[in-house]
Amino acid sequence: MQKKILITGAAGFLGSHLCDRFIKEGFHVIGMDNLITGNIKNIEHLFPLKEFEYYHHDVSKFVHVPGELDYILHFASPASPIDYLKMPIQTLKVGSLGTHNLLGLAKAKKARILVASTSEVYGDPEVNPQPEEYWGNVNPVGPRGVYDEAKRFQEAMTMAYHNYHGLETRIVRIFNTYGPRMRVNDGRALPTFFRQAIEGENITVFGDGLQTRSFCYVDDLVEGIYRLLLSDYHLPVNIGNPDEITVKQCAEEVIALVGGEAKIIYKDLPKDDPKVRRPLTTKAKEILGWEAKVDRAKGLQLTFEYFKSVLSEAKKTSK
């Protein structure tokens, strides 16, 4: 029998790549999104397939899916600072009410559910790299608290359903990920750097640029999520690339790749912006046999080609 999976946030950057992967693996995929940050273009190539169906729905409201369901991937949520600062209430609701609705659906359908958590649960960490056992350094009333605490609550609710109801649950903590289908105006470092460099603008770096990030190419992340869903491990697992670089280095690599005369200009660091971010991936290696494979030079080249094409198309349609 063909396995059936519900993927929320299906029209988003990560959700759309997950839809592709699970269809490729022979699943029947139900994509669900309310498109507040997702883009229907990310999944329109799937609409002709009999293995795919789409529900336009906000998971913060009651979720109904007819028939049997084997798996749920909960990826619905604003994920960029620009989005969750603009939509703080929706961000908190999708992490709390949305998670509650989907855990209830998983319980009713006897389905296994994997929830998308984030490295932001570690806040501005005082340890580097961050292991899953680290409880984090989060400011619950700061501007980023709406996202950080929504995800921390989501993890707590998921564990409560696992422990109290015996529900099969999985938790992935996603570190910085990049690749095709990111939004050009996403607000995160890499899309912003690419847009600015391609359009001949100077590159904006916040703070002194010495804060670090670890960038994982989307194909690697999807592979880790796929393996985690099908594993027997219910505690959180970091999935990310432990190759750590400074934000300034990242900007310089984009400038070198795009070419042109762009210079780096520095602006004030936003409140509670993490100074370091690097996953300890020992669990992913030991439990899932997973590690990041795509090196940054190749990943950046593929991402550059995508943004170049999107921005070129936008110019044509605006004429």
CB 205 within 8 A of CB 265: yes
Question: Which of 54, 71, 147, 217 is labelled catalytic?
Answer: 147
Q: What is the DSSP letter of 9?
A: T
Between strands 28-33 and 52-56, the pairing is parallel
Helix, strand or coil, per DSSP, at residue 176: coil
Quick one: tokens of 34? 């309310």
Helix, strand or coil, per DSSP, at residue 177: strand
d(CA 99, CA 74) in angstroms, rounded, equals 7
Residue 147 falls in the annotated catalytic set: yes
For 200-216, the three-class secondary structure string (H helix, E strand, C coil) is CCCEEEECCCCCEEECE
Q: How far apart are the first and last CA of the chain?
A: 50
Q: Which residues are catalytic?
A: 147
